[in-house]
Homo-oligomer: A and B are copies of this chain.
């Protein structure tokens, strides 16, 4: 694996024509319930959409740029799971690797993730209510997915996962690692979006565990994505001289942090910031690339 990247050489991506998928993503797809103009706590109806940090990348590339993408995930086989599937069909993301898990009828052994979201208005902040404990996807464990089928034989040019999937349970970091290793074995580029969410880590070890998990996965990553807060909170890099007066968004500080990151993980071919607000199902713009092949 150390031979994967040579300083100054561009990252080698498989030929598009030879591959079935431009990108395969691994992550949760939740049912988003949206009260429209109203507020969650007083609404009488919800509109529904599908969404999820890693999935949104696959959906955006398909629907905005016409690339062929697929999602690796799991859903419970009940009407709510089938509704999420219906929404993924609309998203245009291939479902060949979607696993349906048996329903117990009451949502005790496995559930589908839900995400109640509400729009901010003026000074009122946007507000959500994530209901994603005990989901089918959080119960994925090593060996569940045949990764050699997913990445073998030029199936996929690029693999994408991230820190939300890794925060779902004790087992999902192991699945992410297994997938990344298989991807590298088959010459597939690996990208990872740190996407630190304190609430997800809170009940399974907190920030310390987040850093441990992300640091274990980082050596397998070609393209590391994240904003300044992600690098700090989720990987533990300190921005030197950062105090209340200095802005963390000062490009110079960010440059120094990236230098730290690349020194720690020389396997990073590209380090990029993502714009947090762009992480939606309908738009997914890559933010300003900060570092690529030894150049900022």
Interface string of A205-237 (1 = CB under 8 A from B): 000000000000000000000000000000000
The contact size tier of chain A is 35 or more
Residue contact A200 to B46, C-beta cutoff 8 Å: no
How many copies of the polypeptide does the oligomer hold? 6
Q: Is B46 within 8 A of A109, CB to CB?
A: no
User: Contacts A107-B133, A111-B131 given: A43-B203 contact, CB under 8 Å?
Assistant: no
At the interface, yes or no: A255 with Cβ under 8 Å from chain B? no
Is A130's beta carbon under 8 Å from chain B? yes
Q: Which residues of B contact A134 (CB under 8 A)?
A: 107-108, 133-134
Knowing A133-B111, A199-B105, say if A116 contacts B48 (CB, 8 Å): no
CB neighbours of A111 from chain B (8 A):
131, 133
Query: How many angstroms between the C-alpha atoms of A230 and B87 in the bound complex?
Result: 37
Contact at B132–A107, with CB atoms within 8 Å?
Answer: yes
A86 is an interface residue with CB less than 8 A from chain B: yes
Q: A127 an interface residue at 8 Å Cβ cutoff?
A: yes
A129 touches B91 (CB 8 A): no
A90 to B93, CA, bound (A): 10
The answer to the question of A19 belonging to the interface, with a C-beta cut-off of 8 Å to chain B, is no
Q: Are B45 and A80 in contact (CB under 8 A)?
A: no
Enumerate chain A interface residues (CB-CB to B < 8 A): 33, 39-48, 63, 78-80, 82-83, 85-87, 89-92, 103-109, 111-112, 114, 116, 118, 127, 129-134, 199-200, 202-204, 282
Other contacts beyond A45-B45, A133-B134: 7, CB < 8 A: A33-B33, A40-B79, A41-B86, A90-B90, A107-B130, A108-B132, A108-B133
